[in-house]
Structure 1
């Protein structure tokens, strides 16, 4: 597998890279221990992770946590993918966790705020922002993700572990959506082998939101990535991401991200970002 890695920030305690996995092999990679503590934020594509034997679907609406020493392997059933990697030193992790040495593991779902913070970090790095600003943005983003993970861990500790079959169905639904955002609810139910009602119920229990809202968040996250790259064909983008039309894209993006696509492109895109790039 060819991996293209562009360093965006390289400091004593922080490392940020823009990573593209090209032409990945079929099946799972070899089991290897994670060499660092890191956060993987998917920007495009979908892949699967297996950490200490537990499988998870990783799409642009989530963040994956690599814990140093954790036995992990990956598979890329949909081909190549693009992600941002944040690597933090042990002192930085401890500080972000308020001195708690126990690092949450697993996966966190993004919010509109973390999605925007992620894209602004990448955009400002590409613009040549100084290391102080990039470090500040990186720590704020990592702190928010770790807070979400720690909260989820506290909730999980107070109830029995989810049924493995339900988790498998939800992950299968997320993988199907990542592969085809145009799937209807009935089609999605058939794709994973359960009724739409049952799927909707367990999906909300597992992710904290309904399938329609999750799909919109996934579509908006992908739209942000394309706008960061300078996409100007909003009608074509709307069709590609499964919106009814350009107006539908504009309404959903504005409602979710707080700004219309044109303003986001000016803020995030390569040609029109302001001097400080701040929202």
Structure 2
């Protein structure tokens, strides 16, 4: 565990896991309604009757009494945040039927929350940020699962594409991605959308935003090199995308996530 905060009926845990075996592990019975937000890695996830791949663009509800467990890739570093709730928010979580797509701005709010916890923000601010984050997430709606008749081979192909895009968000072309996966571009595009409810382009954009925020939280170096490494045409292309997806610029993200700003106004998201 990297940190934990208990405030205003909320329990927030941020965890970092490095597993040595691919076996199902970290078995846990859910004792309070909760949501788990993945922020690093792609790994197996079981919760109640739902079983599939967990990834950084999806949040996973946990209902009281459910057994949850995880299967990590050996040596991979996976990270996620678990938020246990009560009251009206708990009732909303209980009504969730499956995984939720995590908008990019919700992920940014989670990262700013983590930065503020590390900087010693008081319980009032932490609770306010968590409730705002959860409201945005629950308002985003559910994730479409595989269509009826989905085959195991199609699920494996979509999962392999998700793993590859998470590991290499700057991959240069659809031709390169399909070639790495041993399939055609048209088949990959069609299967991926059917299995995830998202286009490959949309998924890659989210993975690139994840990677950009990771690097900017640690300074990120020259923004031109950062843009090139993530497959953007140039610094301006990176800036346009972050404005559209996150409502801010790479330079501003560096300040927000690197902990240089201090005022509440500066940390608003």
TM (normalized to structure 1)? 0.80
Deviation track 1:81-128 (CA, whole Å, cap 9, x = no partner) reads 22222122366411x35xxxx442542222132122222222222232
Find the residue that maps to 1:17 and give its secondary structure. strand
Find the residue that maps to 1:68 and give its secondary structure. coil
Q: Give the alignment partner of residue 81 of structure 1, picking from 72, 78, 83.
A: 78
Offset at 1:14? 0.4
Q: Give the alignment partner of residue 163 of structure 1, picking from 141, 144, 150.
A: 150
User: C-alpha distance in 2, partners of 1:41/1:139?
Assistant: 14
Deviation track 1:174-214 (CA, whole Å, cap 9, x = no partner) reads 11211222433123224444321122123234444321122
Query: Where do residues 142-161 of structure 1 align in structure 2 (5 Å cutoff)?
Result: 142-149=134-141, 151-152=142-143, 161=148
Gapped regions of structure 1 (runs ≥ 5): none
Find the residue that maps to 1:32 and give its secondary structure. strand
1:243 matches 2:240: no
1:266–1:273 CA contact under 8 A, matched in 2: no
Q: Give the alignment partner of residue 102 of structure 2, picking from 102, 110, 131.
A: 110
1:227–1:269 CA contact under 8 A, matched in 2: yes
Q: Out of 160-169 and 139-148, give the one that drifted further.
A: 160-169
Distance 1:182 1:228, change over 3 A: closer
Offset at 1:220? 0.8
Q: Give the alignment partner of residue 24 of structure 2, picking from 26, 29, 50.
A: 29
How many residue pairs get aligned? The number is 264
The RMSD of aligned alpha carbons is 2.8
Query: Where do residues 106-255 of structure 1 align in structure 2 (5 Å cutoff)?
Result: 106-149=98-141, 151-152=142-143, 161=148, 163-165=150-152, 166-183=154-171, 184-255=173-244
Query: Where do residues 49-68 of structure 1 align in structure 2 (5 Å cutoff)?
Result: 49-52=45-48, 54-68=50-64
2:103–2:137 CA contact under 8 A, matched in 1: no
1:228–1:269 CA contact under 8 A, matched in 2: yes
User: C-alpha distance in 2, partners of 1:116/1:214?
Assistant: 16
Offset at 1:215? 0.3
TM (normalized to structure 2)? 0.83
Query: Which residue is equivalent to 2:39?
Result: 43
Offset at 1:52? 4.2
Offset at 1:160? 6.3
Find the residue that maps to 1:42 and give its secondary structure. strand
User: C-alpha distance in 2, partners of 1:81/1:236?
Assistant: 25
